[in-house]
Structure 1
Amino acid sequence: MNSKPETVTGNDDQDLKSCCANVYQSDLARFLLGDSFHPGGIALTEYLGTLLQLGPDKQLLDVAAGQGTSAIHLAQRFGCNVLGIEYSAVSVERANEAAQASDVAHLVTFKQGDAEHLPVSAESYDALICECAFCTFPNKALAATEFLRVLKPGGMVGLSDLTRKTAEVPADLQGLLAWIACIADAQPLERYVQYLVTAGFSMQTLEQHDQALSDMVREIHGKLLGAELLVKLNKLQLPGTIDFGQAKTMARAAATAIKAQQFGYAVMTASKV
């Protein structure tokens, strides 16, 4: 790794963040993706929690927490205290409602915030998790620096994210990928590593979980087929409009790209030295 990772900055950063937040909070996204908006679902979240050595004595920060599914599950599974940071005010409200309705209401809370300017004190968390969201941050270098700042010495960060080996997202996939999640700026695995190492982390775990991405795309394709039939029979009203023909074509193209290893999914952990 000879070059410093690039960052994306500019006046449209806030628009990009808002766009991504709107995708995740939409009812259509929930219909297609379920409660866990990332490949691997809760099972991969729990695995990442194990890698981070979570337990009742740990303070966990969940960055880009969405509507709270992962944070609540990790508190239930490991007994850790969790603060979820989410850019969307709507998602924060829904996440707090879900937490209060759970059996870990005393362990989990959510607040609005920006991953590039985390609203928490320095060296206040034992672990930090960020699932399928780091790729959406306009200034990834700044976000990685923030991750380091808020962790205690020896604290660990755990990322799961989409990886891309092609120079650009193919035009016939851009719609689907933005629709599944805002991943137009997904990076090669080594670039994610570079962001973390440059910030000051020491890498611990690097694993490819491409099958999780393949499974998610296949599940979405199946839901599209079922939803199209139900809509035609007037037995389902989707929250939003969708071009089923185009969506199915893009889903097939995505599956082909994943099989060709143009896209993948990775799990990474690193520690604060």
Structure 2
Amino acid sequence: MFSVNEIEKMDYNQLIGVVRETNRPPGGMRSIAQIARHGFLSRDSHVLEIGTSTGITAVELAKLVGCRITAIDINEESLVEARRRAEAAGVAHLITFERKDATDTGYPSGHFDMVFCGNVTSLIPDRDKALTEYTRVLKTGGFIGAIPMYYIDVPSDQLVADVRAAIQVDITPLYRDFWIDFFVGADRHEYWLQDYRFDAVPADEVDRFVDDILRRPHLDQLDDDARELLGKRYREQMQLFRVNLSHMGFTTLLVRKEPTDVEPELFTSTAL
């Protein structure tokens, strides 16, 4: 299956493909449902999902709405698991999984009713090029569904360095205003958003979660040394993310592609 050397070189996103973790977007099923509802998805919609990982968002959208989804990722191991999950859920006929780069998809302009990118844009080195591509392939009047994560509390330099090493991306601590300003602009107008903060999760709860994941039968194919290393690295990274997320929040955001600008709403309101 995989050797010790191969596992040693894997980043977090590759490891979750191996253990077949359900890699949900921030906010999980609630966020997926909110994006589907507020973005007016229907059975006639065609969604492009960026960074599908092990496929939970694509599968859930297909189950909730019955729409078509084209789901892309750069990690083939994750795509194998995503296809397996779609088959098991009975929605494989609605989803096309493809290995593609988010900055150069090759899809026609104005092709999709929604581009769902979750938090993956923060992991793309050229995020401006990625956003340009999202906008290009989106129909006029369509939505970009994003769930950017950001720091609420300032992290230590050591924490940021540890997260960089785990995900193998040169991240810089970013905050809410950065991401709103990033997604909103040009032909992209803020349509709906909701802010959240991550709950604190005890360390022993993370350990129980990891123990359950590592008991999955397919991991018996690994030799003892490789399985031990996989368990060690996966546990360390999950505990690291527990600490990191305690400093963070996220925004569930829909922006609409609309070339004609209008004046901002003056008489706003607040829910009671």
Q: What TM-score bracket applies, with the shorter chain setting the length?
A: 0.7 to 0.9
Deviates more, 1:74-83 or 1:87-96: 87-96
Tell me the residue number matched to 1:105. 92
CA distance in 1, matches of 2:127, 2:99: 19
Q: Does 1:157 align with 2:144?
A: yes
Shift of the 75–188 alpha-carbon distance from structure 1 to 2, 3 Å rule, reads same
Q: Does 1:208 align with 2:198?
A: no
Deviates more, 1:122-131 or 1:187-196: 187-196
Is the CA contact (8 Å cut-off) linking 1:28 and 1:240 kept in structure 2?
no
Tell me the residue number matched to 1:24. 13
Shift of the 27–150 alpha-carbon distance from structure 1 to 2, 3 Å rule, reads closer
In structure 1, the residue corresponding to 2:98 is in which secondary structure? Answer: strand
Q: Give the residue type in structure 2 aligned to 1:263.
A: M
**CA-to-partner distance for each residue in 1:156-190, whole Å, 9 max, x for gaps?**
01101211256776313542576479683453222
After TM superposition, list the pairs within 5 Å mapping 1:1-273 onto structure 2. 22-27=11-16, 30=19, 34-165=21-152, 170-176=157-163, 179=166, 184-185=171-172, 187-211=174-198, 214=199, 218=201, 222-224=205-207, 240-242=230-232, 250=240, 253-254=243-244, 258=246, 262-273=247-258
**CA-to-partner distance for each residue in 1:211-249, whole Å, 9 max, x for gaps?**
3xx25xx16651226758xx9xxxx96661427997697
The Cα shift of 1:102 comes to: 2.6
Shift of the 143–241 alpha-carbon distance from structure 1 to 2, 3 Å rule, reads same
CA distance in 2, matches of 1:63, 1:93: 16
The Cα shift of 1:201 comes to: 0.5
The Cα shift of 1:272 comes to: 0.4
Shift of the 111–193 alpha-carbon distance from structure 1 to 2, 3 Å rule, reads same
CA distance in 2, matches of 1:90, 1:243: 17
**CA-to-partner distance for each residue in 1:86-121, whole Å, 9 max, x for gaps?**
111222222223223331121111001111112311
Deviates more, 1:174-183 or 1:108-117: 174-183
**CA-to-partner distance for each residue in 1:125-169, whole Å, 9 max, x for gaps?**
001111121111111111111111001110001101211256776
Is the CA contact (8 Å cut-off) linking 1:135 and 1:183 kept in structure 2?
no
Q: Give the residue type in structure 2 aligned to 1:207.
A: Q
CA distance in 2, matches of 1:247, 1:25: 12
CA distance in 1, matches of 2:80, 2:242: 35
CA distance in 2, matches of 1:25, 1:63: 16
Aligned length: 239
Is the CA contact (8 Å cut-off) linking 2:203 and 2:239 kept in structure 1?
no
In structure 2, the residue corresponding to 1:127 is in which secondary structure? Answer: strand
Question: What stretches of structure 2 of length at least 5 have no aligned partner?
Answer: 1-8, 215-223, 259-272
Is the CA contact (8 Å cut-off) linking 1:221 and 1:251 kept in structure 2?
no
Tell me the residue number matched to 1:12. none
CA distance in 1, matches of 2:234, 2:78: 27
Is the CA contact (8 Å cut-off) linking 1:22 and 1:88 kept in structure 2?
no
Output the TM-score relative to the length of structure 2: 0.73
Output the TM-score relative to the length of structure 1: 0.73
Q: Give the residue type in structure 1 aligned to 2:13.
A: Y
Is the CA contact (8 Å cut-off) linking 1:28 and 1:238 kept in structure 2?
no
Alpha-carbon RMSD across the aligned residues, in angstroms, is: 3.6
In structure 2, the residue corresponding to 1:242 is in which secondary structure? Answer: helix
CA distance in 2, matches of 1:51, 1:137: 26
